Amino acid sequence: MSCIVLVLPTSSSLYTCVSPSQEALELFRPDFISRSQGRVRRLEQRALRRRELQDSNPDLVQGLREDRFKQKRNCTTPDPLSDNLFKPRERSISGREMQLRSRRIYNKLPEVTKKKEEEKKRAVSQTNRLRAEVFKKVDLGFIRLLDQILQK
């Protein structure tokens, strides 16, 4: 992989290696880089706040947790400048209803219906076999009885 060395304007003594994929991101997706830098800044601020709060009172720690909860709730609203404007819909179907719907659809599949029909046929043939065995036993018993009566 080729490496391009750039001198950053903030510190002239620091050299960084930039890959071609980073260059492509800088050219074609500057919004991605700015959002990424914003996330890094927020993480640094949180770390700084956490370090400061280790020595302070626990009420501020609770406030920090509430801020984080608010940020999580706002994650579902898309950024208007973003090209990904997917907004999740509110769920109108409960989990139980979804499960019943999936089961109903699954049971209507041709493979499943065919399998159930075969199982029914097997059960019917098994009961018929049992009936035939019972009939044979009864029939043989009746014939033996008749033979005994006729022999006397």
Per-residue confidence band for 136, with pLDDT thresholds at 50, 70 and 90:
confident
Tell me whether residue 86 is in a domain. Answer: no
Q: What's residue 146's pLDDT? A: 80
Per-residue confidence band for 104, with pLDDT thresholds at 50, 70 and 90:
very high
Tell me whether residue 103 is in a domain. Answer: no
Query: Which domain, by its residues, includes 43?
Result: 1-80
Whether residue 62 sits in one domain with residue 134: no
Q: What's residue 32's pLDDT? A: 86
Q: What's residue 54's pLDDT? A: 79
Tell me whether residue 64 is in a domain. Answer: yes
Range of weakest confidence among 41-45, 59-63, 98-102, 117-121:
59-63
Tell me whether residue 101 is in a domain. Answer: no
Whether residue 16 sits in one domain with residue 60: yes
Segment 129-152 shows an average pLDDT of 82
Looking at 32, 58, 80, which one is the last position of a domain?
A: 80
Nearest-angstrom CA–CA distance, 132 and 112: 30
Looking at 80, 99, 127, which one is the last position of a domain?
A: 80
Tell me whether residue 102 is in a domain. Answer: no
Mean of per-residue pLDDT scores for the chain: 78
pTM of structure: 0.32
Whether residue 131 sits in one domain with residue 72: no
Q: For residue range 9-59, list pLDDT tens digits in order.
A: 555 454 556 678 888 888 888 888 888 899 999 999 998 888 888 777 666
Whether residue 72 sits in one domain with residue 28: yes
Nearest-angstrom CA–CA distance, 111 and 130: 29
Residues 6+ apart with CB under 8 A from 61: 53
Tell me whether residue 74 is in a domain. Answer: yes
